Structure formats: C-alpha cells, structure tokens
Structure 1
Amino acid sequence: MSTFKALQVSEGQDGAFVQRVVERDVADLPAGDVLVRVRYSSLNFKDALSASGNRGVTKQFPHTPGIDAAGTVVESAVGEFAVGDEVIVTGYDLGMNTAGGFGQYIRVPAPWLIKRPQGLSLREAMVLGTAGLTAALCVDKLESAGLDPQAGPVLVTGASGGVGSVAVALLSSLGYTVAAATGKAEQADYLRSLGATQIVTREALQEGLEKPMLKEQWAGAVDTVGGDILFNVVKSLRYGGSVACCGLTAGVGFKANVMPFILRGVNLLGVDSVELPLVVKASMWDKLSLQWKLANLDELSREISLDALPEAIVAILAGKQVGRLLVNLG
C-alpha cells in the first residue's frame, strides 16, 4: 500500500501542462481523517479544467485531479467510519487543491464522506458522480418551486453532456415530457433512448437574443451551459416557470432584462453541488438510490482506465464527450 498509481498534472518549462500516470507514495497524501482505496471516479468538466492548468480551479501543481471518488476505507481516525466501509466523496476541495479521485488512494476529512447508500454500487455511484448529483439537485429544486409532470414540457440544455444526460433520463423516469437541446445533432437517437421526446438545436436556442421576451414554451428547464442561451431559456419559460442553472460552458455572462420576471413571474434558480452541506448531499444520494434510481445507468456511461484519461480530457475540453465517463482505478 506504500505506493499507488495516479494521474499527475505537471507544468513544463514551456508553461504547458502535461498529464501522465505516475507512482505516488501514500505518505505524500495530505493530512486527513480517513484513507480511502478508490475503486471508481468519473471525468467532469471541472476535472478537465484542473488537468489543463486552470488556476481558478487548482492553484498548485503537480496535482492529481478528480472531484469524484468511490471506494473502501482502509484507515480511519474517527468513529463514524470503519475499515471496510464503502464511501463516496464528491465536491468540497477534492481534486481541486486536494489530491483527488484520479489516484488509487485519497486521504480526506471525515465531513467530506458519506457511506454508500445500499441501493447503489460504488460503480453506479460514479456513473452518476457530481454530474448525477447536480442533475438531481436541479430536478429537486424545480419541483420545490412547483414543477410537476402535468405542468408541460421541460427543457434540458447541453443535454448530451454528463449533467444533461442524467437530467434527461431522470426527468423522463419521473414522468416529465423532456425536450433535449444539443449542438450535437448526431446524438439525437442517444437522447431519445434516454427519454427525450423532442430534440432542440443549439441554433434554435440562440434565436431572438435581441428580444426582451420570447414565446412561452417550457414549464421548466435544467440549464447546463449558461451564457446567452440561459437567458433565452428564461425568456421562453411559461408563466410561473423556473430554470435551474448549474453550468457555464457557453459563458459566465448573459444579456438580461427584468421583463420575464415581472410579466411572467418566472424564477432563475442557482444550483451548487460542491459546498452543499453533507446532510443535503446524503439525502440526495439516498433519493438517487431509491425512488429516483435510474434503470438505464449503463446507457449513460463509458468506462475507461487511468491511462486513457489524458485523451478523454482533450475530448471533454473540445465539447466532444457524450454522457458520463467512468474511470476504473482497478
């Protein structure tokens, strides 16, 4: 157990960042309450930002990314966790400035950990990962704001990505009529297999940017892209509708006006899955393992090894990843 494999990101003399699988020493991991043998992780957009040297995500290098991890406790200094417990870690500082799930071992504070819900295997938990948790939080927030399946169609933007794919599948499983918006026309069949009944092009969502209001279409929406597309969605919500916002791949800013809010009473709901209190995360994981458990999890994911991560990181940064990418750490 003294050494283990991990993806390490280093900055070269030319300023370029390089990812390679290395042998690390367990003793070099940061201080923490619990040592976990990681079995599975997953690739998220934030991981790719860290792996490409984005200092807004990760400040110091060399570094091991991976904001998700699921595995087995091998050492514990606290009573809440015993050797052999299967646990999940998502968010907080894991994989950002603390060595993350792209290594076979992590050492973390106990308040970051939850015990694996009985209804999910470690593998299933990482097929979902932060993306699945975020999608579930979006749906939960929309329902808390009054959305129900009878209200009308629900739009998911960035639908072929990780969060979007889970959101489409989850909403469909809960009885919603789902419209999937994507810039990847070739993924229409994939999105229909997850339960989407309507495919919306990215170009269609970019029409009417100059208008203060658009035709009422959506009872609710999950937006994973941000930018002007997000506010076009706001402008096309039905009266009293809501959009849950959780992503920024299309940009962090948008042109806005107050008219949709005061004339249609719509809501823009922010969703965070990183610093969320652990009790809320645990509650959502329980939901995903029971009444919200997805029957088609395997359709959402592709499994890769640590060695395949550098190529996958390039693909996700180029907007080419579809669904979820499960990382098997052996």
Structure 2
Amino acid sequence: MDATFPALLIRDQVQGSERVDFIRMDEADLMPGDVEVAVHYSSLNYKDALGITGSGRVLRRSPIVGGIDAAGEVIASSDTRFKPGDPVLVTGAGLGEYHHGGFAGRIRVPADWVVPLPAGMDCRQAMILGTAGLTTALILKRFQENQQLPEMGPILVTGASGGVGALTISLLAAQGYEVVGLTGKPEMAPWLRSLGASEVLDRHGLSMGFRPLETARWGGAVDVLGGEVLGWLARTVDDWGNIVVVGLAGGADLRTTVMPFILRGVSLLGVTSANCPLPMRGPLWERLGSDWAIPHLDSILSEEATLSQLPEFSRRMLAGRTWGRILVNPRADT
C-alpha cells in the first residue's frame, strides 16, 4: 500500500513555472505538531494565489506546502482533545505560510490550531467557508459588538463577487441587514441578488467625489479593497456607522480626513482571521454551524480544483477572473 500522498510545494526564491513542484511526501516529511490530519478538502484564497504566483511576499518559509485552509479527519493525536476519526478543520494560524499547509494529502499541526468540525457541517462545507467564512463571522461579530443595527441603513459590501464578499452578503442578509453589493463584474448582479443583495452597483461607474464628507448613503460597510474606495466609504457612511476592513485588493493606502470620525462618529474596524485566537475561533465556527449558518453555499462555490490546476486558478484569481469560492481536492491527484 502506498503510504505517500500528493502535495504542492512552493519554492519562494524561484519565479515562473519552476516555482511550484507537485511532489509526493510521506509521514517523515510532515512538520512537528500534536495532531495529524488526513486532508479531505482545502480552498484557494487570495493569499494562496499570491504565494503560488510570487505576486506578494506572503510566505515565511521556503520551500513550503501551500494552503492556508484544511479540513479532514484526525489520523493520530498526542493531545487528548482529539482522537483518530474526529472531523476537524484548520484555518490560518501560519498554515501555508511558515508551516506546511492544506495543499497536501496530510498535515501535522499544533493542537491549538485545530477546531472540531461543527455538528451538521461536513469537510466540504467547511472548506467552501474556510478562511473566508471565518472572516465573515468576524465581520458580523465586529458589527454586533459595535452596535451596527439593521435599522441604521444598508450595508455596502465591496468586492461583492469574491469569496468574502459573497459569503458576507449571504450572512448579513440572513441576519436581517439590507445589503448592497459593489462589484467590478456587473454581469454577476443576478447571482448577487440571489444571495440576498437588494441592489448591486458597478464599481467602474462609481462617482466618489472629493469633499471631506459626501452625502451619507450607507449605514455601514464591509471593504475588501482599501485604497480609494475605502476613502470614499469613510466619506459616505452615515452617523455612528461602522466600516469593517478585511482586505487591500485595491491598494494599501488610505486617504481620508478626521471629518467622518469626529463629525459623524464613524468607526473603522479591522479584522484579521489568520491570528484569530482559539478561544474566539472555536465559538465562531460553532455559530457558523448553527444560528450564523450561511445560506446558498452551493451557489457560492464556483469551481473545484485539483492541486495541479492551482497555478492556473491562482493566475485567474489575481487577474479578477474568478468569483465566489474555489474548493481544492488534494486527493484528486492521487
């Protein structure tokens, strides 16, 4: 019986087609940890695409198996919290950055990174969610903690056709918020409405203005773009509204004034899922499996990829030619 398994190995110091190797590993190649997991599914995230293509400095070790998400079944554990056969998931926490990640048939990780799969959720559903789903739960948590109420007005979600955007629209709409999507892909408007968006705006036709404060249009916002769009959101969110910032696909700069914050009481809230503490992470996943369950997961899943397809999928993602969530099946290359 073959004890090896497939993996996607990234050599950070190499560019072009030679950057990625498709290899077979065995148990001796795994990194130290308390829990060994047979990976059933992973997912392709923006950070993964940056690492695979070398378009961003996101890898902290080379060579490394990519993949910041993984879900599967425990094979062995030296930690009493887990036993063989337990369904579990791991997102962020260094996976695929400085510790071999989910683009492989197996991982071995510290027990504190591992989250039991919520009741009623399977590995496939967990990885349609993945890091993007945890980010979406953190967005809702930040809104609720800072008193962002549905009656305060519509929530604008930028990057609406991406994984985080689509999941956020679906979750917020299910929780009673009116949600407006902003996208550079206007052809996706019918799909976004099917997820719960009351309106879809074309980013390319956006008139942002230039005054320190523009007419207030939004009760709050979720931004994955940064840059010029985030500055515009600060100028157009209404009194006491919150802007949750989760990405920088449109740029890392933020140009604004203090006016939105001292005259309208707008709050700028940050979210990072990679280092979300375990005491927070586990309960959020439990909520994603219960009262914060995100509808339309099958509609939000756009494609399923094998390891060998990931370089092409990554190039497409960075070029803006993907939508929704991309599931990765590392066992398909066996």
Q: Shorter-chain TM-score: which interval?
A: over 0.9
Aligned residue number for residue 121 of structure 1: 122
Deviations 1:111-152 (A, max 9, x none): 000111103111111000001110121122112111122221
The 1:204–1:267 alpha-carbon spacing in structure 2 relative to 1, beyond 3 Å, is farther
- Say if 1:17 and 1:51, in contact at 8 Å, map to a contact too: no
Aligned residue number for residue 286 of structure 2: 286
Would you say 1:177 and 2:178 are equivalent positions?
yes
**Cα distance in 2, alignment partners of residues 186 and 167 from structure 1:** 19
Q: 1:231-250 counterparts in 2 under 5 A?
A: 231-250=231-250
Offset at residue 32 of structure 1 (A): 0.9
Deviations 1:59-108 (A, max 9, x none): 33322110000011111111111111111100111001111001111110
SS of corresponding position for 1:73? strand
**Cα distance in 2, alignment partners of residues 50 and 306 from structure 1:** 14
RMSD over aligned CA atoms reads 1.7
**Cα distance in 1, alignment partners of residues 257 and 100 from structure 2:** 42
- Say if 1:162 and 1:322, in contact at 8 Å, map to a contact too: yes
Deviations 1:219-265 (A, max 9, x none): 11111111121121111001110010010111111211100111101
**Cα distance in 1, alignment partners of residues 305 and 14 from structure 2:** 30
Q: Given residue 146 of structure 1, which amino acid in structure 2 is its aligned partner?
A: Q
**Cα distance in 1, alignment partners of residues 300 and 16 from structure 2:** 36
Offset at residue 206 of structure 1 (A): 5.7
When structure 1 is superposed on structure 2, of 91-100 and 8-17 the one drifting more is: 8-17
Aligned residue number for residue 27 of structure 1: 28
- Say if 2:169 and 2:197, in contact at 8 Å, map to a contact too: yes
The 1:244–1:14 alpha-carbon spacing in structure 2 relative to 1, beyond 3 Å, is closer
Q: Given residue 238 of structure 2, which amino acid in structure 1 is its aligned partner?
A: R
SS of corresponding position for 1:75? strand
Offset at residue 12 of structure 1 (A): 7.7
The 1:103–1:277 alpha-carbon spacing in structure 2 relative to 1, beyond 3 Å, is same
**Cα distance in 2, alignment partners of residues 322 and 104 from structure 1:** 26
Sequence identity, in percent? 44
**Cα distance in 2, alignment partners of residues 35 and 14 from structure 1:** 31
- Say if 1:11 and 1:17, in contact at 8 Å, map to a contact too: no
Offset at residue 17 of structure 1 (A): 5.0
**Cα distance in 1, alignment partners of residues 207 and 255 from structure 2:** 12
The 1:205–1:282 alpha-carbon spacing in structure 2 relative to 1, beyond 3 Å, is farther
Aligned residue number for residue 77 of structure 2: 76
**Cα distance in 2, alignment partners of residues 33 and 140 from structure 1:** 30
Offset at residue 273 of structure 1 (A): 0.6
Would you say 1:306 and 2:307 are equivalent positions?
yes
Q: Given residue 311 of structure 1, which amino acid in structure 2 is its aligned partner?
A: E
For structure 1, the 5+ residue unaligned runs are none
Aligned residue number for residue 187 of structure 1: 188
Q: Given residue 6 of structure 1, which amino acid in structure 2 is its aligned partner?
A: A
Aligned residue number for residue 67 of structure 2: 66
Deviations 1:277-298 (A, max 9, x none): 1111111111110011123110
Offset at residue 2 of structure 1 (A): 3.2
Q: 1:251-262 counterparts in 2 under 5 A?
A: 251-262=251-262
Offset at residue 299 of structure 1 (A): 0.3
- Say if 1:157 and 1:222, in contact at 8 Å, map to a contact too: yes
SS of corresponding position for 2:240? strand
TM-score (norm. length: structure 1): 0.95
Q: 1:190-201 counterparts in 2 under 5 A?
A: 190-201=191-202
- Say if 2:234 and 2:256, in contact at 8 Å, map to a contact too: no
The 1:65–1:14 alpha-carbon spacing in structure 2 relative to 1, beyond 3 Å, is closer
**Cα distance in 1, alignment partners of residues 306 and 16 from structure 2:** 27
Aligned residue number for residue 228 of structure 2: 228
The 1:259–1:118 alpha-carbon spacing in structure 2 relative to 1, beyond 3 Å, is same
**Cα distance in 2, alignment partners of residues 74 and 57 from structure 1:** 29
TM-score (norm. length: structure 2): 0.94
How many residues in Structure 1 have an aligned counterpart in Structure 2? Answer: 329
The 1:55–1:233 alpha-carbon spacing in structure 2 relative to 1, beyond 3 Å, is closer
SS of corresponding position for 2:99? coil
**Cα distance in 1, alignment partners of residues 87 and 178 from structure 2:** 36
When structure 1 is superposed on structure 2, of 313-322 and 16-25 the one drifting more is: 16-25
Q: 1:20-169 counterparts in 2 under 5 A?
A: 20-53=21-54, 56-169=57-170
- Say if 1:234 and 1:243, in contact at 8 Å, map to a contact too: yes
- Say if 1:315 and 1:321, in contact at 8 Å, map to a contact too: yes
Q: Given residue 93 of structure 1, which amino acid in structure 2 is its aligned partner?
A: G
When structure 1 is superposed on structure 2, of 104-113 and 298-307 the one drifting more is: 298-307
- Say if 1:172 and 1:178, in contact at 8 Å, map to a contact too: yes
Q: 1:194-209 counterparts in 2 under 5 A?
A: 194-205=195-206, 207-208=208-209
SS of corresponding position for 1:238? coil
